[in-house]
Amino acid sequence: LSDKLYVICLASKNNKKVTFTCTEKELVGEIPEGRYGHTINVVHSLGKSMIVIIGGRSYIALGQRTTEKWNSVVDCMPHIFLVDPEFGCCTSYALPELQNGFSFHLSLVQNDIIYIIGGHSLENNIRPPNFYKIKIDLPLGSPAVSCVILPGGISVSSAIMTQTREKEFVVVGGYHSDNQKRMICNTINLDDNKIEIVETETPEWTPDIKHCKIWFGSDMGNGSILFGIPGDNRQLTSDANYFYILKCQVENDQSLEQMAQVCSQSSTEDAGESTPFEDSEEFTFSFDIDTDTCNEDDNENGSE
Protein backbone atom coordinates (compact mmCIF):
# COMPACT_ATOMS: atom_id res chain seq x y z
CA LEU A 1 0.00 0.00 0.00
CA SER A 2 1.17 3.50 -0.76
CA ASP A 3 2.19 5.75 2.14
CA LYS A 4 1.49 8.90 0.12
CA LEU A 5 -0.91 11.56 1.39
CA TYR A 6 -3.17 13.32 -1.10
CA VAL A 7 -5.13 16.52 -0.57
CA ILE A 8 -8.29 17.09 -2.61
CA CYS A 9 -9.45 20.71 -2.87
CA LEU A 10 -12.35 22.42 -4.58
CA ALA A 11 -10.87 24.40 -7.47
CA SER A 12 -13.97 25.94 -9.03
CA LYS A 13 -17.73 25.57 -9.00
CA ASN A 14 -20.55 26.93 -11.07
CA ASN A 15 -24.14 25.98 -11.82
CA LYS A 16 -23.28 22.97 -13.96
CA LYS A 17 -19.69 22.01 -13.22
CA VAL A 18 -17.49 21.27 -10.21
CA THR A 19 -13.71 20.93 -10.52
CA PHE A 20 -11.34 19.47 -7.92
CA THR A 21 -7.57 19.29 -7.70
CA CYS A 22 -5.71 16.41 -6.07
CA THR A 23 -2.18 17.17 -4.85
CA GLU A 24 0.38 14.79 -3.39
CA LYS A 25 1.72 16.03 -0.05
CA GLU A 26 5.40 15.50 0.73
CA LEU A 27 5.79 13.93 4.18
CA VAL A 28 8.79 13.90 6.51
CA GLY A 29 9.45 12.57 9.99
CA GLU A 30 7.49 9.62 11.43
CA ILE A 31 5.53 8.87 8.29
CA PRO A 32 2.52 6.56 8.84
CA GLU A 33 2.62 3.36 6.83
CA GLY A 34 0.20 2.88 3.96
CA ARG A 35 -3.17 1.72 5.24
CA TYR A 36 -6.91 1.47 4.65
CA GLY A 37 -9.88 1.45 7.02
CA HIS A 38 -8.42 4.45 8.89
CA THR A 39 -9.78 7.92 9.55
CA ILE A 40 -8.27 11.29 8.65
CA ASN A 41 -9.53 14.44 10.36
CA VAL A 42 -8.43 18.04 10.80
CA VAL A 43 -8.45 19.58 14.28
CA HIS A 44 -8.24 23.28 15.11
CA SER A 45 -6.65 24.64 18.28
CA LEU A 46 -5.36 28.10 19.24
CA GLY A 47 -5.54 29.32 15.65
CA LYS A 48 -3.59 26.34 14.28
CA SER A 49 -4.67 23.24 12.34
CA MET A 50 -3.36 19.69 12.24
CA ILE A 51 -4.19 16.57 10.21
CA VAL A 52 -4.84 13.54 12.43
CA ILE A 53 -4.60 9.93 11.20
CA ILE A 54 -5.96 7.16 13.45
CA GLY A 55 -6.28 3.39 13.03
CA GLY A 56 -6.36 1.38 9.85
CA ARG A 57 -5.12 -1.88 8.41
CA SER A 58 -2.09 -2.77 6.33
CA TYR A 59 -0.21 -5.73 4.87
CA ILE A 60 2.30 -7.62 6.99
CA ALA A 61 5.77 -6.11 6.73
CA LEU A 62 7.87 -7.58 3.92
CA GLY A 63 10.40 -9.04 6.34
CA GLN A 64 7.66 -10.97 8.17
CA ARG A 65 5.87 -12.45 5.17
CA THR A 66 5.80 -16.13 4.31
CA THR A 67 4.50 -17.87 1.20
CA GLU A 68 1.32 -18.90 3.00
CA LYS A 69 0.69 -15.44 4.47
CA TRP A 70 2.07 -13.22 1.73
CA ASN A 71 -1.13 -11.18 1.37
CA SER A 72 -2.18 -11.27 5.02
CA VAL A 73 -3.18 -8.00 6.66
CA VAL A 74 -2.96 -6.75 10.24
CA ASP A 75 -4.30 -3.80 12.15
CA CYS A 76 -1.78 -0.97 12.34
CA MET A 77 -0.37 -0.05 15.72
CA PRO A 78 -2.87 2.14 17.63
CA HIS A 79 -0.72 5.23 17.30
CA ILE A 80 -2.02 8.72 16.62
CA PHE A 81 -0.25 10.53 13.79
CA LEU A 82 -0.24 14.30 13.56
CA VAL A 83 0.64 15.78 10.16
CA ASP A 84 1.40 19.47 9.71
CA PRO A 85 -0.77 20.53 6.73
CA GLU A 86 1.74 23.17 5.65
CA PHE A 87 5.13 21.47 5.97
CA GLY A 88 4.13 17.76 6.00
CA CYS A 89 5.97 17.02 9.26
CA CYS A 90 4.63 13.80 10.86
CA THR A 91 4.74 12.89 14.54
CA SER A 92 3.54 9.65 16.13
CA TYR A 93 1.96 9.40 19.60
CA ALA A 94 1.40 6.19 21.59
CA LEU A 95 -1.23 6.57 24.32
CA PRO A 96 -1.75 4.05 27.15
CA GLU A 97 -5.53 4.13 26.62
CA LEU A 98 -5.13 2.74 23.10
CA GLN A 99 -3.79 -0.79 23.49
CA ASN A 100 -5.16 -2.67 20.47
CA GLY A 101 -5.32 -1.78 16.81
CA PHE A 102 -8.68 -1.12 15.17
CA SER A 103 -10.08 -0.26 11.75
CA PHE A 104 -13.33 0.81 10.07
CA HIS A 105 -14.30 2.97 13.05
CA LEU A 106 -16.16 6.27 13.17
CA SER A 107 -14.51 9.59 13.97
CA LEU A 108 -16.22 12.82 14.96
CA VAL A 109 -14.40 16.15 15.26
CA GLN A 110 -15.31 19.11 17.44
CA ASN A 111 -12.59 21.80 17.22
CA ASP A 112 -9.60 20.25 19.06
CA ILE A 113 -11.36 17.02 20.10
CA ILE A 114 -11.82 13.78 18.13
CA TYR A 115 -14.30 11.15 19.25
CA ILE A 116 -13.57 7.58 18.11
CA ILE A 117 -16.53 5.18 18.04
CA GLY A 118 -16.64 1.43 17.39
CA GLY A 119 -14.33 -0.28 14.93
CA HIS A 120 -13.13 -3.80 14.14
CA SER A 121 -10.15 -5.53 15.74
CA LEU A 122 -8.71 -8.04 13.29
CA GLU A 123 -6.53 -9.91 15.79
CA ASN A 124 -9.52 -11.18 17.79
CA ASN A 125 -12.15 -10.61 15.08
CA ILE A 126 -14.28 -8.54 17.45
CA ARG A 127 -16.04 -5.19 17.30
CA PRO A 128 -15.35 -3.71 20.74
CA PRO A 129 -17.64 -0.88 21.92
CA ASN A 130 -14.86 1.71 21.68
CA PHE A 131 -15.66 5.26 22.71
CA TYR A 132 -12.59 7.49 22.99
CA LYS A 133 -12.27 11.22 23.50
CA ILE A 134 -8.93 12.40 22.10
CA LYS A 135 -7.91 15.99 22.80
CA ILE A 136 -5.17 17.67 20.77
CA ASP A 137 -3.73 20.95 21.99
CA LEU A 138 -1.57 22.94 19.58
CA PRO A 139 0.46 25.47 21.58
CA LEU A 140 3.53 27.27 20.25
CA GLY A 141 5.74 24.33 21.20
CA SER A 142 5.07 20.62 20.75
CA PRO A 143 1.45 19.40 20.49
CA ALA A 144 -0.13 17.77 23.54
CA VAL A 145 -2.26 14.67 22.90
CA SER A 146 -4.44 13.02 25.56
CA CYS A 147 -7.16 10.37 25.56
CA VAL A 148 -10.11 9.54 27.83
CA ILE A 149 -12.14 6.33 27.61
CA LEU A 150 -15.85 7.16 27.69
CA PRO A 151 -18.63 4.79 28.79
CA GLY A 152 -21.60 3.82 26.65
CA GLY A 153 -19.88 2.95 23.37
CA ILE A 154 -21.43 0.84 20.61
CA SER A 155 -20.21 -2.26 18.82
CA VAL A 156 -20.17 -1.50 15.09
CA SER A 157 -17.82 -1.33 12.12
CA SER A 158 -18.10 0.39 8.74
CA ALA A 159 -21.01 2.54 9.90
CA ILE A 160 -22.01 5.93 8.47
CA MET A 161 -22.56 9.09 10.48
CA THR A 162 -24.35 12.32 9.61
CA GLN A 163 -24.90 15.55 11.51
CA THR A 164 -28.50 16.53 12.24
CA ARG A 165 -28.03 19.40 14.72
CA GLU A 166 -25.12 21.44 16.04
CA LYS A 167 -24.38 18.90 18.78
CA GLU A 168 -26.28 15.89 17.42
CA PHE A 169 -25.18 13.13 15.06
CA VAL A 170 -26.90 9.98 13.79
CA VAL A 171 -25.12 6.64 13.24
CA VAL A 172 -26.61 4.30 10.63
CA GLY A 173 -25.55 1.08 8.93
CA GLY A 174 -22.44 -0.96 9.46
CA TYR A 175 -22.05 -4.48 10.81
CA HIS A 176 -22.53 -6.32 14.12
CA SER A 177 -20.40 -9.20 12.83
CA ASP A 178 -18.94 -10.50 9.58
CA ASN A 179 -22.32 -11.96 8.56
CA GLN A 180 -24.76 -9.61 10.28
CA LYS A 181 -25.64 -6.07 9.24
CA ARG A 182 -26.46 -3.57 11.96
CA MET A 183 -30.04 -2.50 11.31
CA ILE A 184 -30.53 -0.23 14.33
CA CYS A 185 -29.63 3.47 14.50
CA ASN A 186 -28.08 5.60 17.23
CA THR A 187 -27.96 9.27 18.09
CA ILE A 188 -24.81 10.86 19.52
CA ASN A 189 -25.42 13.88 21.74
CA LEU A 190 -22.40 16.05 22.49
CA ASP A 191 -23.77 18.41 25.12
CA ASP A 192 -21.19 20.25 27.22
CA ASN A 193 -22.17 18.50 30.44
CA LYS A 194 -23.23 15.13 29.04
CA ILE A 195 -21.94 12.99 26.18
CA GLU A 196 -24.02 9.96 25.31
CA ILE A 197 -24.94 7.51 22.56
CA VAL A 198 -28.58 6.40 22.57
CA GLU A 199 -30.61 4.14 20.32
CA THR A 200 -33.02 6.04 18.10
CA GLU A 201 -35.97 5.28 15.86
CA THR A 202 -35.11 2.89 13.04
CA PRO A 203 -36.44 3.55 9.53
CA GLU A 204 -38.62 1.04 7.77
CA TRP A 205 -35.96 -0.69 5.69
CA THR A 206 -37.08 -1.96 2.30
CA PRO A 207 -37.05 -5.74 1.75
CA ASP A 208 -34.08 -5.39 -0.62
CA ILE A 209 -32.03 -3.71 2.08
CA LYS A 210 -33.11 -6.15 4.79
CA HIS A 211 -32.08 -9.20 2.78
CA CYS A 212 -28.84 -7.98 1.22
CA LYS A 213 -25.59 -9.25 2.74
CA ILE A 214 -23.57 -6.07 2.25
CA TRP A 215 -24.28 -2.38 2.04
CA PHE A 216 -22.17 0.72 1.64
CA GLY A 217 -22.57 4.45 1.47
CA SER A 218 -21.52 7.87 2.69
CA ASP A 219 -22.71 10.99 4.46
CA MET A 220 -24.26 13.50 2.03
CA GLY A 221 -24.43 16.33 4.56
CA ASN A 222 -27.54 18.08 5.88
CA GLY A 223 -28.64 14.95 7.72
CA SER A 224 -28.83 12.72 4.62
CA ILE A 225 -27.03 9.43 3.94
CA LEU A 226 -26.53 7.73 0.57
CA PHE A 227 -26.85 3.92 0.72
CA GLY A 228 -25.91 1.41 -1.96
CA ILE A 229 -26.61 -2.31 -2.26
CA PRO A 230 -25.42 -4.79 -4.91
CA GLY A 231 -27.82 -5.44 -7.75
CA ASP A 232 -27.58 -9.22 -7.43
CA ASN A 233 -30.04 -8.97 -4.53
CA ARG A 234 -32.68 -8.35 -7.19
CA GLN A 235 -31.45 -11.19 -9.39
CA LEU A 236 -30.52 -8.76 -12.12
CA THR A 237 -27.10 -7.92 -13.49
CA SER A 238 -24.58 -8.66 -10.77
CA ASP A 239 -22.49 -5.55 -11.43
CA ALA A 240 -25.37 -3.12 -10.91
CA ASN A 241 -25.76 -1.14 -7.70
CA TYR A 242 -28.97 0.36 -6.35
CA PHE A 243 -28.90 3.53 -4.32
CA TYR A 244 -31.15 4.94 -1.62
CA ILE A 245 -31.21 8.15 0.40
CA LEU A 246 -31.96 8.07 4.11
CA LYS A 247 -33.01 11.46 5.48
CA CYS A 248 -32.31 11.84 9.19
CA GLN A 249 -32.70 15.62 9.41
CA VAL A 250 -35.54 17.11 11.41
CA GLU A 251 -37.50 19.78 9.60
CA ASN A 252 -40.53 21.61 10.97
CA ASP A 253 -40.56 19.28 13.99
CA GLN A 254 -41.34 16.32 11.75
CA SER A 255 -38.93 13.41 11.51
CA LEU A 256 -37.91 12.57 7.97
CA GLU A 257 -36.26 9.26 8.84
CA GLN A 258 -37.55 7.30 5.91
CA MET A 259 -35.98 5.33 3.13
CA ALA A 260 -36.76 6.34 -0.45
CA GLN A 261 -35.10 5.06 -3.58
CA VAL A 262 -34.07 8.01 -5.71
CA CYS A 263 -31.61 6.62 -8.20
CA SER A 264 -30.34 3.29 -9.50
CA GLN A 265 -27.60 3.04 -12.07
CA SER A 266 -24.99 0.55 -13.18
CA SER A 267 -21.64 1.14 -14.77
CA THR A 268 -21.01 -0.73 -18.00
CA GLU A 269 -17.36 0.23 -18.17
CA ASP A 270 -14.91 -2.61 -17.78
CA ALA A 271 -12.57 -1.75 -14.92
CA GLY A 272 -9.73 -3.36 -16.82
CA GLU A 273 -10.18 -0.85 -19.64
CA SER A 274 -10.07 2.20 -17.38
CA THR A 275 -7.22 4.61 -18.00
CA PRO A 276 -4.97 4.86 -14.92
CA PHE A 277 -3.72 8.17 -13.58
CA GLU A 278 -0.26 9.13 -14.70
CA ASP A 279 2.51 9.27 -12.10
CA SER A 280 2.40 12.99 -11.38
CA GLU A 281 2.26 15.22 -8.35
CA GLU A 282 -1.06 16.82 -9.23
CA PHE A 283 -4.06 16.12 -11.41
CA THR A 284 -7.40 17.80 -11.94
CA PHE A 285 -10.76 16.22 -12.52
CA SER A 286 -14.26 17.58 -12.91
CA PHE A 287 -17.80 16.45 -13.52
CA ASP A 288 -21.00 18.01 -14.79
CA ILE A 289 -23.94 18.41 -12.44
CA ASP A 290 -27.11 16.82 -13.79
CA THR A 291 -30.13 18.02 -11.87
CA ASP A 292 -32.48 15.61 -13.64
CA THR A 293 -33.72 12.70 -11.53
CA CYS A 294 -32.48 9.35 -12.77
CA ASN A 295 -34.31 6.05 -12.56
CA GLU A 296 -34.02 2.42 -13.55
CA ASP A 297 -35.02 3.22 -17.12
CA ASP A 298 -31.73 5.11 -17.51
CA ASN A 299 -29.90 1.79 -17.70
CA GLU A 300 -31.91 0.78 -20.73
CA ASN A 301 -30.94 3.84 -22.75
CA GLY A 302 -27.26 3.52 -21.86
CA SER A 303 -26.90 6.62 -19.70
CA GLU A 304 -23.97 6.67 -17.27
What's the average model confidence in pLDDT over 262-269?
38
Higher pLDDT, 238 or 169: 169
Higher pLDDT, 276 or 16: 16
| Residue 7: inside a domain | no
What local confidence, expressed as pLDDT, does residue 257 receive?
Answer: 38
Q: Are both 86 and 180 inside the same structural domain?
A: no
Looking only at the bridges linking them, the beta strands covering 28-29 and 89-94 are parallel
Q: Are both 85 and 148 inside the same structural domain?
A: yes
Q: What are the φ and ψ backbone dihedral angles of 240, each rounded to 5 degrees? A: -90, 145
Q: Are both 35 and 97 inside the same structural domain?
A: yes
Domain boundary among 117, 139, 155: 155
Provide the domain limits for residue 119: 28-155
pLDDT digit string, tens, across residues 158-172: 999 999 999 999 999
Q: Are both 165 and 137 inside the same structural domain?
A: no
Residues 91, 95, 99, 101: what is their CA dihedral angle, to the nearest 10 degrees? -30
Average pLDDT in the chain: 83
Looking at the predicted structure, is the pLDDT value of residue 107 above 90? Answer: yes
| Residue 278: inside a domain | no
Q: Are both 143 and 162 inside the same structural domain?
A: no
Looking at the predicted structure, is the pLDDT value of residue 32 above 90? Answer: yes
pLDDT digit string, tens, across residues 273-282: 444 444 444 4
Q: Are both 131 and 169 inside the same structural domain?
A: no
**Cβ pair 88, 69 in contact under 8 A:** no
| Residue 146: inside a domain | yes
- Which range (35-49, 174-188, 222-236) has the least confidence? 222-236
